[in-house]
Amino acid sequence: MKRLLTAELVRTARGIPGDAVLIDGESVAAVGRAADLRSPEVIETSYAGAVIIPGLRDAHFHPVPYAAAISGTTLKTAADFADVADRLRAGAATLPPGAPLVALRLDDETLAEQRLPTRSDLDAAVADRPVLAHRYCGHIAVANSLALVAGGISRHTSNPPGGVIDRAVNGEPTGVLRETAIELVSTALASTQAVGPDQVVDAMHRLVGLGMTSIGAMTRTGDGPWASLGNEAKLLEEVADRLPITVHTYVIASSVEEFAVASNDLRAAGGRVRWAGLKQFADGSLGGHTAAMYEPFSDQPDTLGTLRLTEAHAEMARACVAAGGSVALHAIGDLACGRVIDLFAELIDEGADPRQLRLEHASVLTTGDITRLANLGVIACVQPAFIGSETEWLEKRLGPQRLALAYPFETMRRAGVRLAGGSDCPVEPPDPWAGMALARDRAGLVPQEGLSAGAAFGLFTDGAAFALGEPEPLAIGSPADVAVVDRDPVAVAPDELRATEVLATWVHGVQVEFDRSLPSWAD
């Protein structure tokens, strides 16, 4: 069946090709002037005064933790330890007696105490069950005493490779766990999965209300910081036929064998689930002082962060490339970015297609590594929303010299680096409109690195589609993934862009309904 969508104009990252999109079945048949595309046998849907755009893509997203964030206990807006305690008690009250409580999005930078809580602080709030509170970056968590016991952590427990157990002067664990040390507890709580199929499907429908039609889903198999949410890959397989958007899955695994099993299962899932490749971590976060840096953090002169990249990661990357997948490596600090670029250069020398290689976050880069990124032709998947969260403390972490090389979007673009946009949700809210606006105005932080309106729009359309292995949006023959909005995202100012209203979303030629009363995000 053919259908014609008409509006005031059609906007793509490449310009304004007309005011109408002709859909044939699941695909785009033409884009141009409505007067030229109308015919008696074509059903027409008109959106007077509105703007048709490509469906938005988020190239870096954690769908199961997102479902947990909007349906479980979140701490991002807690004012102080007393507020944290109240939220933990409220969350515990919804669980069976003794069932572990996993909370997300703790932010020590905005707490009145200006520090992370300890096991004692959490024990004072909830002492009758294990509690694990993840920092919003996902690279630090705090466990209460029962959670430490569940993870087998005591004063005699050694730091795991790539992780740190914070300790008091007497050697006792404080409850603060960094990087892979989180897994000692989170894997012990893996049987306590708090997110079910219906919650994941509901969460994906909320993304439809943002105009989103596909995501790059970072998907755990049960290991890693959020292991307590269960096997995310299995959960996505279970709901594949119910998902309203396309979910490109990047497997987070601890071995080549585990990666292969999960990848094969996701390939067979069908529905809206597509296997895309591998996701691994080269370091941590700036907020948690675990990003791997060449020089120490300015506010912690004895800290260089944690480099997690190992030969095992390289082995999995080679296995992924051989299987035809994309390799997405998390790197935030300048040292981690440099090491990942080194690995990508090796993979390309061995025959990998640069389009299969993604540097995730690329938060702090040297000028030489920006040049190398461009010359190699690999993709940098960036998260403008990070800037909005880090404005108050980023210079304190990096100092003024490195601040100039933080999130260098415009410098990368001018150098020829392929850029794709994402949110890293639930590290940040999933709103792509806020992401585009921050890519432009950067909340006033290093404003010369702001992108033009068109380039910012391209992050979440053409750029993200390219990173996900999708055809050029709204090109003839591409999937008919379309959003209809109330303003031209390239013509309006950043603050107006943040207020964009989505009027309709079409996925593969079918309009997907969404509940306008449901928020896409909740703290």
Residue 44 Ramachandran class (φ > 0 left, ψ -120 to 50 alpha, else beta): beta
Report the pLDDT value the prediction gives residue 187, as an integer from 0 to 100.
86
Report the pLDDT value the prediction gives residue 190, as an integer from 0 to 100.
65
**Cα–Cα–Cα angle for 15, 16, 20, rounded to 5 degrees:** 140
Please report whether residue 345 resides in a domain.
no
Please report whether residue 110 resides in a domain.
yes
Report the pLDDT value the prediction gives residue 224, as an integer from 0 to 100.
65
Tens of pLDDT, residue by residue over 10-47, are 999 999 999 999 999 999 999 999 999 999 999 999 99
Higher pLDDT, 517 or 194: 517
In this structure, the answer to whether residues 109 and 163 fall within a common structural domain is yes
Which two three-digit tokens encode residue 402? 């490195």
What is the H or E stretch that residue 415 is in?
helix 409-415
In this structure, the answer to whether residues 155 and 93 fall within a common structural domain is yes
Picking from 192, 208, 240, the residue at the C-terminal end of a domain is: 192
Picking from 148, 163, 192, the residue at the C-terminal end of a domain is: 192
Region 478-483: mean pLDDT is 98
Domain count, the chain: 2
Report the pLDDT value the prediction gives residue 228, as an integer from 0 to 100.
72
- Decide: helix, strand or coil at residue 273: strand
Report the pLDDT value the prediction gives residue 222, as an integer from 0 to 100.
76
Report the pLDDT value the prediction gives residue 229, as an integer from 0 to 100.
79
- C-alpha 306/C-alpha 436 separation (Å) is 30
pTM, two decimal places:
0.93
Region 230-237: mean pLDDT is 92
Report the pLDDT value the prediction gives residue 390, as an integer from 0 to 100.
95
By percentage, how much of the chain surpasses pLDDT 90?
Answer: 90
Region 491-506: mean pLDDT is 98
Which two three-digit tokens encode residue 82? 């007393």
The residue among 48, 44, 55 whose CA lies nearest residue 486 is 48
307-310: long-range contacts, CB 8 A cutoff, minimum separation 24: 307/282, 307/283, 307/335, 307/336, 307/339, 308/162, 308/179, 308/180, 308/281, 308/282, 308/283, 308/284, 308/336, 309/280, 309/282, 309/283, 309/336, 309/339, 309/340, 309/343, 310/161, 310/162
Report the pLDDT value the prediction gives residue 225, as an integer from 0 to 100.
67
In this structure, the answer to whether residues 82 and 160 fall within a common structural domain is yes
The number of beta carbons lying within 10 Å of the beta carbon of residue 355 is: 14
The residue among 467, 9, 8, 507 whose CA lies nearest residue 210 is 507
Region 104-125: mean pLDDT is 94
Please report whether residue 23 resides in a domain.
yes
By percentage, how much of the chain surpasses pLDDT 70?
Answer: 98
CATH code of the domain containing 496: 2.30.40.10
Asked if pLDDT for residue 194 goes beyond 70, the answer is: no
Could you tell me how many residues make up the chain?
523
* Non-local CB neighbours of 522 within 8 Å, separated by 6+ positions: 69, 70, 74
Region 395-415: mean pLDDT is 97
Region 175-204: mean pLDDT is 87
Please report whether residue 455 resides in a domain.
no
Region 321-330: mean pLDDT is 98
Report the pLDDT value the prediction gives residue 522, as an integer from 0 to 100.
75
In this structure, the answer to whether residues 10 and 118 fall within a common structural domain is no
Report the pLDDT value the prediction gives residue 286, as an integer from 0 to 100.
97
List 328's β-bridge partners, or say none: 279, 358
CATH code of the domain containing 87: 3.10.310.70
In this structure, the answer to whether residues 16 and 88 fall within a common structural domain is no
Asked if pLDDT for residue 215 goes beyond 80, the answer is: yes
In this structure, the answer to whether residues 112 and 13 fall within a common structural domain is no
Picking from 192, 207, 231, the residue at the C-terminal end of a domain is: 192
Please report whether residue 64 resides in a domain.
no
In this structure, the answer to whether residues 26 and 121 fall within a common structural domain is no
Asked if pLDDT for residue 173 goes beyond 90, the answer is: yes
Asked if pLDDT for residue 162 goes beyond 60, the answer is: yes
Per-residue pLDDT band for 339 (boundaries 50, 70, 90) equals very high
In this structure, the answer to whether residues 49 and 81 fall within a common structural domain is no
Report the pLDDT value the prediction gives residue 191, as an integer from 0 to 100.
57
* CB contact at 8 A, 437 and 452: no
In this structure, the answer to whether residues 94 and 181 fall within a common structural domain is yes
Please report whether residue 424 resides in a domain.
no
- Decide: helix, strand or coil at residue 400: helix
Report the pLDDT value the prediction gives residue 71, as an integer from 0 to 100.
84
Asked if pLDDT for residue 227 goes beyond 70, the answer is: no
**Phi, psi (rounded to 5 degrees) for 250:** -115, 115
Please report whether residue 307 resides in a domain.
no
In this structure, the answer to whether residues 185 and 88 fall within a common structural domain is yes
In this structure, the answer to whether residues 14 and 101 fall within a common structural domain is no
Please report whether residue 491 resides in a domain.
yes
Report the pLDDT value the prediction gives residue 195, as an integer from 0 to 100.
83
* CB contact at 8 A, 116 and 176: yes
Q: What is the largest CA-CA distance in the chain?
A: 82
Mean pLDDT for the chain? 95
Per-residue pLDDT band for 368 (boundaries 50, 70, 90) equals very high
Report the pLDDT value the prediction gives residue 326, as an integer from 0 to 100.
98
In this structure, the answer to whether residues 30 and 97 fall within a common structural domain is no
For residue 488, the enclosing domain spans 2-54+479-511
The residue among 11, 6, 5, 10 whose CA lies nearest residue 458 is 11
Per-residue pLDDT band for 264 (boundaries 50, 70, 90) equals very high
